[in-house]
Each structure stands twice: as structure tokens, then as C-alpha cells.
Amino acid sequence: MAKKYKYFFYFTIDIFLILSLSSCKINSSFQSKTPEKEAPPVLINGICGESHDQGFSKEPSTHLCSSGVVSNFSYINKKWTWSCNGNNSGTNTNCEALTNMNHILIAGQSLSIGPLPATSTIQNFSNNFMLSEDAYPGPRGTAKPLVPLEEVSRESPASGIGNSIVGIDIDRVLATTAHGRGGSEYGIIKKNGSFGVYASGMIQAQNVKDESELMGYKYNPIAVVLIHGERDQKIGNGNIYDTFLYEFQNNYELDLNSTAGTDHNIPMFINQTSAVGPHETALSQLKAHKNDSEVYLIGPLYQYRYDDGIHINNEASKHLGEQFAKVIDIVVFKKENWNPLMPTNFQLVNNKLTIQYHVPKPPLVFDTTIVADRTSASIGMKYGFQFYDNGVLIDITDIIIKSDTSIEITLNSAPTSNNKVIKYSARSDLANTHSGGSNNKDFHGGNLRDSDNTISQSFNSTNLPLYNWAVSFSEIID
């Protein structure tokens, strides 16, 4: 028994010592550990965002601060101001942005100048400008200072454009100037062309910039409108006219950005010629729209009344300006894409041709009220459409609206050749004649439009719907 207790005693002593030493070691380690300190708060300085020192047509709401918290946002004297406040003893920074003086320049030949007499002779918007008269009255002036946009002798598209752009949003500030020259081909109005036409536009840009800055605005050229092409059709440049447009838009963009000290896209907005056949220029204008992302075709001109077969009347000139303004608003201000009423697909089965359209505002409509019925059995034309099989006209017996965005053409017989062509408002029998005008059934044009019944919000609008009429085209059918 003694031996048993002896081992037990030693065993318990050993366990006791081990536990005691371990406990001491653990307690010692806890007692010797230093408590961790909290990390100091990170200092954050307020830093202005990308909107600082830029110009805006509407109150900026994004990219105000790249660091810090926005505070004290206000608008005083054409200027938005705000602070980017730092955190944890970081510094605060004051930031600002200016209101844009947007500038639209109008180039071209006589239709860009407008017909007699002027009707938009009063300006109701205090933020809608042009330059002062010098050698030319109205929007063609190049002199300082900026004055209210008011026509003097002619009703140019400038008033339809300017009054509509500001009417859509009365917070916009706009200058609209024109520097076209009647009867002039591209070789005259281009950069370094004759008579200083292009140079006049650059003088206008510089003077609008100078006046903008004196008034506390930031100069912002946003668009060039080109109303042109009839002369180039007559002298045989129609098939290469699209190359002129690429060069023209690029030159304006480079030179206007240089004047403004900016680096952004400045799109060119064009129309299709509709008064002089056989329409190579009109087809080149459509080609430029398809190929150049900065050239926008708004539509044709055949839906307008002409005074003499080549010059539209003053109501039409104002309405043309309103149509340009509608598309400029979509592209420049709303930042949306634009395509006119144009064909996108053709499918021929036996003697029936289906044409699918891009339609800005469906449904499609055949309108023989605004545009006299362009149907003539003698030239195989119905509603402005003609079909050729190896150069020979095939009579069109019927056309129907197949869906909101497509039409179906029934031919007198099924075409058999490998050279099949469908045309719309592209007659070849009116070559180099002044034959524009919606009211004359023997002139250029067609009867297809969409259902966009938007009316310009200008204070002196024409109050006419801004329908989109189908573009002239000539397409080979596979």
C-alpha cells in the first residue's frame, strides 16, 4: 500500500507542478502583450471633379467632385459654384462651371440665306442671339456685339432653328449665324475657297466667342448646318459630293475646336436636294449619312412649296429650320442617335417587293395632301417609286402599307434580269431642271412619310407637324 501511495503522491506532485508552470507561462504572456492602437483617420482633401471649369447648357449633376463631399451648390451670374469638402481635417476646394453659349453655324447656298420677305422680325427670348449687321443684315451679320436673333429682310432657316432650340428648353443660351452664298458650288464655300465664304464663318465663330466671354458665358460651338448641293448637281459633282461632306465636316470641327479651345465632336446636319435631277447629289448625301457618324441627314425637301422650282418660300424656310432644330436637339442635347425615314431591307418574291424602313415615328403613311400624288403611268411611277429591270421600267400596279414600318410593291410582272433597281424620288427624266415643289405632281418627290406630328415649340412656330418624309434612294435588288 505504501508503494502505491508513493507513486500517486509523486504523480500528483508532477501534475500540479506542470499545471502551475503552464498557468504562470500563460498569465505571463497575457500580461506582457501590448494593446493594439487604432489606425489614425485617413485625411481626405476635397478635389474638384471633371465638371469643374467646363460649360453646361443645363445644371451639372455628375462629376462635381473627384474627392470629398459636394456642398454649397448654387447658381449666380451665369455660373454654377460648389465646394468639395474634405474629411478628417482635409482641405476644402471651391469649384465652378459656366453656362454655355451654344453656337450653330449655317452654311450653303441660297436656301441657307432664305427668301423674301422676313416674317420672324421679333425676338421673345432674351437668350437667343445673332451677331450684328455689317455688310449683311440678319443672321448673316459678322459684327460685334451679339444682338437678339431677328430677321431683317429674308426669312432664313436660322430663326426656325434658333427659336425652336431655345423653345424646347428655355434655359439654353444660343447664337445662330449664317454665312452662305447663293449659287455657289462646294469649291467656293469650302475652306480656302473663293470669296471668303468659309472665312466669314470663322470670323463669326471668333466674334461669338469674344462676346460670349464678355457676357460671362463659355463659348461652345455645337453644330454646323449645311443647306447645299443643287449647284454641284448641275455642274456634274453629284457622284462625288459625299467626299466633299467628309472633308467639310472635318474642317469645321478642327477649326471651331481650335477657336473654342475645345476638343469634341461638332456634327454637320444636312438635307437632301430635291429640286435638281437626276439626284446623284441626293444619293451622295444619303451615302454620307450612312458612312460618316458625324454627318446627319435630316431628310429631303420635296415636301415644301417652292416659289420657282428651286427656292422654297418663307414659310417653308422657317419650317425647314424647325426640322433641323428637332434633329439637332435629338443628337446634340439629348445625346441620342438619329436616322431619317430610310429603307433598311428589300425582299423580292416573284412580282412582290417588300421594303422595310427605319421609321422615326411609326406608322408609315402615304400622304397625297401635303405632296401632290406622285403617280404617273407614263413613267411607271406610283407614289414616287419606280422599278427598273435591266434598265426597262416595269409598271407598279399597287403599293400598300404592309406594316407600321414596311410597304409592299406589286409589279406588273416578275423581273427576270440580274440588274434590278428600285428608286424613290430619284427620277432621271428631269435632269438639270428646276423642278422642286410639293404641289406639282410632275416634279420630284414622293408621298411616303411617318407620323411624327411634333410641332416646334418656338414662340412664332409655323404650327405645322414635323413629319419625317422618306429619303430619295436608288437601290440594286439582289
Q: Of 91, 112, 143, which one is at a domain's C-terminal end? A: 91
Which residues share a beta bridge with 177?
A: 105
The pTM score is 0.90
Q: Are residues 81 and 149 in the same domain?
A: no
Q: Are residues 329 and 353 in the same domain?
A: no
Please report whether residue 234 resides in a domain.
yes
Q: Are residues 303 and 398 in the same domain?
A: no
The confidence score (pLDDT) of residue 29 equals 44
Q: Of 313, 333, 353, which one is at a domain's C-terminal end? A: 333
Measured CA to CA, the distance from residue 283 to residue 108 in angstroms comes to 18
Cβ neighbours for 87, distance < 8 A, ≥ 6 positions apart: 41, 42, 43, 44, 68, 69
The confidence score (pLDDT) of residue 39 equals 75
The β-bridge relationship of strands 406-411 and 473-477 is unpaired
| Mean per-residue pLDDT, 100-122 | 97
* Rounded-to-5 percentages of helix, strand, coil across the chain: 30, 25, 45
CA 115 to centroid of chain Cα atoms: 26
Please report whether residue 18 resides in a domain.
no
Kindly report the number of other CB atoms within 10 A of residue 465's CB atom. 15
Q: Are residues 72 and 194 in the same domain?
A: no
Please report whether residue 36 resides in a domain.
no
Please report whether residue 40 resides in a domain.
no
Instruction: Tell me the per-residue pLDDT of 30-45, one tens digit each, with 9 for 90 and over.
Output: 444 556 677 778 899 9
Cβ neighbours for 163, distance < 8 A, ≥ 6 positions apart: 120, 123, 125, 128, 149, 321, 456, 458, 459, 460, 461
The torsion angles phi and psi of 7, rounded to 5 degrees, stand at -65, -40
Q: What is the three-class DSSP state of 330?
A: helix
Compare 6 and 349 and report the one with higher pLDDT. Answer: 349
Q: Of 280, 302, 333, which one is at a domain's C-terminal end? A: 333
Q: Are residues 125 and 224 in the same domain?
A: yes
Q: Of all residues in the chain, what percent carry a pLDDT higher than 70?
A: 92
Dig out the grid coordinates for 211 from the structure. 462676346
Please report whether residue 197 resides in a domain.
yes
The confidence score (pLDDT) of residue 434 equals 75
Q: Does residue 461 register a pLDDT over 90? A: yes
Cβ neighbours for 223, distance < 8 A, ≥ 6 positions apart: 104, 105, 266, 267, 268, 269, 328, 332
| Mean per-residue pLDDT, 286-311 | 95
Measured CA to CA, the distance from residue 353 to residue 477 in angstroms comes to 9
Measured CA to CA, the distance from residue 208 to residue 156 in angstroms comes to 19
CA 119 to centroid of chain Cα atoms: 27
Instruction: Tell me the per-residue pLDDT of 156-176, one tens digit each, with 9 for 90 and over.
Output: 999 999 999 999 999 999 999
The confidence score (pLDDT) of residue 28 equals 44
Q: Are residues 82 and 224 in the same domain?
A: no
| Domain span including residue 432 | 342-477
* Residue 220 contacts residue 260 (beta carbons within 8 Å): yes
Please report whether residue 196 resides in a domain.
yes
Kindly report the number of other CB atoms within 10 A of residue 3's CB atom. 7
Neighbour-count burial for 209-226, b at 16+ CB within 10 Å, e otherwise: bebbeeeebbbbbbbbbb
The structural domain count of the chain equals 3
Q: Are residues 240 and 381 in the same domain?
A: no
CA angle 416, 414, 388 (to 5 degrees): 70
Please report whether residue 33 resides in a domain.
no
Place of cell 444619303: 286
* Summary mean pLDDT of the chain: 92
pLDDT-based confidence at residue 298 (cuts at 50, 70, 90):
very high
The confidence score (pLDDT) of residue 277 equals 77
Q: What is the DSSP letter of 215?
A: T
Q: Are residues 109 and 138 in the same domain?
A: yes
Q: Are residues 160 and 264 in the same domain?
A: yes
Q: Does residue 20 register a pLDDT over 60? A: no
Q: Are residues 311 and 455 in the same domain?
A: no
User: Which CATH number do you get for residue 105?
Assistant: 3.40.50.1110
Dig out the grid coordinates for 221 from the structure. 460651338
Please report whether residue 5 resides in a domain.
no
Q: Are residues 131 and 194 in the same domain?
A: yes
Q: Does residue 22 register a pLDDT over 50? A: no
Q: Are residues 87 and 110 in the same domain?
A: no
